[in-house]
Chains A and B, each alone.
Chain A
Amino acid sequence: MEYQEDTLLFSEKTQFILVTVEGIIKKTDAKLFDWKVGGSIYDCHPFFEILKSLIDSFEKEETTYNFPCIHLEENNTEKICDITIIINTQEITVILFEYTSKYRELNKIAQQRNESVLKAKELELKNKYLLDKEEFKNNFITNINHEVRTPLTSILGFVEILEKTKLNFEQEELARIIKRQSIHLNALIDDMVDISKIESGKIQIVDQRFLFVNLIKGFDETYSKLAEKKEIEFSTYIDPNIQEYLIGDRTRVYQILNNLLGNAFKFTEEGSIHLSVTKNYQRTNKLSINFKIEDTGFGIQAENLERIFDRFTRFNEDKQISGTGLGLAIAKNLVNLLNGEIKVTSQPEKGTTFEVKLPFKFEVTKTTSQKKKKKYTLPETKKKFRILLVEDEEATQYLVMKILISQGNFFIDVALNGEQAINYLERRNYDLVLMDLKMSKIDGYQATRMIRNNYGDKIISEIPIIGFTAKIGEKERDKCLRAGMDDFIAKPFEQEDLLYKITKQIAKKAAV
């Protein structure tokens, strides 16, 4: 194959080089590189070393090789070429096609594409590093909590003892300060542990049915008192369209609102604070509630708003305000945990408004049964009714006793398990049994079955029984009724509910 130097087939930017099998340049047009005839091609550029192995592996047939996009440089100028090499028995033909500008163009695109991938990876790496650091910190806090708590508890204990000893006025004052500071330190640790638990995902959301209106009422009572002391106004509004009972994590909702209200009270010296609770929307059994906490306090500068939810952020350093600086961070973290939203708007010297949106659920069946409750009254045949409470949990015992005793027409006996309950029933006549279902030895279902089946005495075998369950639902209900109970009530229950159910059962029994 022979190439003419003056061929028109190739453009200006093409160079031919004829090389002997020893690598000596026989002929070239030197259009791109000024390589001399008679010189060794191997001295021109390390790329050409490839010829050695191509020649070594050559077998009779003329063969063509293509090497796209090779960077060749001479005297510090780079030319990017596609190189074709043709080898036959007599000689080697090398053809350079220069495409520098085309490749530079391509380069830009590749650069952008690759760079964006690398940038993303870099961010990912940074993020992971931060997360690791965060995790370390959270574990650290949880661990140190215990170490700090023990001595702190004894400080508090001893100060209390100290306070009871004979102290002069100054000593008394000092003891009071130590106590106050220790309590503050304790609160700070509580908050820190809380926040590290939230951030490390150790807090679990527990959905339970609770009397939502009471939660808000509780805030109304507590904070009205505080408002009176501070001589500011406090008011609450609750949308009457919101269901009485909602399903959600009551404790966390309480914590969120308590932190936000606490914050509002801290930074408001005059004017008012208002909490309003409204419904955003409702779909099947879900609803979204909007909580708005408006105050007429110091307000926050616009540039500080972004950092308001950061830990230990305090913008009112000069004002003598106590607090851990963690309240808002906790609130924000909890809102996120509950899949809600929180936002803040503020005007310096005018006040601040926090808005929180939280999702809740409610029981659809419950609303139908809420239609109309038949009214029951206790029969007037007796002045007092004797009730047997079978319950091993002290908290529930206490609550039931408080509710019933305050009514004035109940006597209460407490049995700690099914076995004891049966003993009591055999010894005394009762009007009703309140039966916890989860107990050691004989559980509530079993005890109920025994009461229903083992006694000829109708005073025992037909006694009204109300079960205490931890959950509500059809399944639970069925289980109770099948065991022979007359009704059941889910813990935690409300006073009215309990009284209604007790009255209903006693009234029904008396009517037979």
Chain B
Amino acid sequence: MKLSKKVVLLGHFGVGKTSLFRRFMDNEFSEDYKVTLGVQIKKKVIEMPDGRELSMIIWDTEGHTNIEDTRKSYLLGSHAFIYVFDLTRTDTYQDLSKDIDYLTKNYPKVKTKIIGNKLDLVNEKDILQLFKDKQIQFDCLTSAKTNKNVQNFFSDLAKEITS
């Protein structure tokens, strides 16, 4: 049977959800910001190390400042959430734990991953220290622009949701 998993990108607007989506799907990036309205959906077939094929269906949502404003139907039938925030904008991660709590409470079966994006704009060492001090948890720091950690992140995620 063909494997198929739904993954939803969440987080404030402008943090780079669409950029990560495009980087992963088509290996493209643009500095030009184009607002996402509603949701765009694309499929990518990934070959797993064990030979199986996985259809990853990614929903790139428009993003809201408050996670609870996200349309519930968008989240139906998900296998993973990727919560993206912007390393250069404090307001995109200051309520992170509240948003994550909301997701894990209402969707306990769905894997939730946290990404800090735009790594190319900050000093990694400083950021790591800052997040340690502020006790902000995250799974991965990426740059959609330079492609840093993007492919790795998605292939790790693929493994995790199929195991």
Interface residue ranges, A against B (CB under 8 Å): 45-47, 49-50, 52-54, 57, 65-71, 80, 103, 106-107, 110-111, 114-115, 117-118, 121, 125
Contact = CB atoms under 8 A, between A and B. Distances in A.
A474 to B, nearest CB: 48
B113 interface: no
Q: List the 5 closest pairs (A to B, CB-CB), nearest first.
A: A69-B38, A53-B77, A46-B43, A71-B40, A111-B35
Contacts of B55: 46, 49
Q: Which of A45, A47, A80, A111 has the most CB of B within 10 A?
A: A47
27 contacts: A49-B4, A49-B6, A49-B43, A49-B57, A50-B77, A53-B77, A54-B77, A65-B73, A65-B76, A67-B71, A67-B74, A68-B38, A69-B37, A69-B62, A71-B39, A80-B38, A106-B37, A110-B35, A111-B35, A114-B13, A114-B14, A114-B33, A114-B35, A118-B33, A121-B14, A121-B88, A125-B121
Contacts of B6: 49-50, 53
Given A68-B73, A107-B35, A114-B33, 20 more contacts: A46-B42, A46-B43, A49-B57, A50-B6, A50-B76, A52-B77, A65-B73, A66-B73, A67-B39, A67-B71, A69-B62, A71-B39, A71-B40, A71-B41, A106-B37, A111-B35, A117-B14, A118-B14, A121-B14, A125-B121
B34 interface: yes
Most buried by A among B13, B34, B73: B73
B89 interface: yes
Contacts of B34: 111
Interface string B132-153: 0000000000000000000000
A103 B38 CA distance: 9
Nearest to B88: A125
Contacts, number: 71
Contacts of A57: 77
A70 B43 contact: no
A444 B38 CA distance: 80
B105 to A, nearest CB: 19
Interface residues of B, number: 25
Chain A interface main SS type: helix
Interface of B: 4, 6, 13-14, 33-35, 37-43, 55, 57, 62, 71, 73-74, 76-77, 88-89, 121
B88 A52 contact: no
A57 B71 CA distance: 19
B92 to A, nearest CB: 9
A136 B153 CA distance: 36
A57 to B, nearest CB: 8
Given A115-B33, A121-B88, A69 B39 contact: yes
Contacts of B77: 50, 52-54, 57
Contacts of B74: 67
Contact of B41 (A47, A54, A80, A103): A47
A17 B163 CA distance: 35
A107 B41 contact: no
Contacts of A125: 88, 121
A53 B76 contact: yes
A109 to B, nearest CB: 9
Nearest to B77: A53
B76 A70 contact: no
A266 to B, nearest CB: 44
A50 B4 CA distance: 10
A107 B57 contact: no
B71 A68 contact: yes
B104 to A, nearest CB: 19
A46 B33 CA distance: 25
A20 to B, nearest CB: 18
B35 to A, nearest CB: 4
Contacts of B62: 69, 110
Contacts of B88: 121, 125
A107 B76 contact: no
A50 B7 CA distance: 11
Contacts of B33: 114-115, 118
B21 to A, nearest CB: 12
Contacts of A114: 13-14, 33, 35
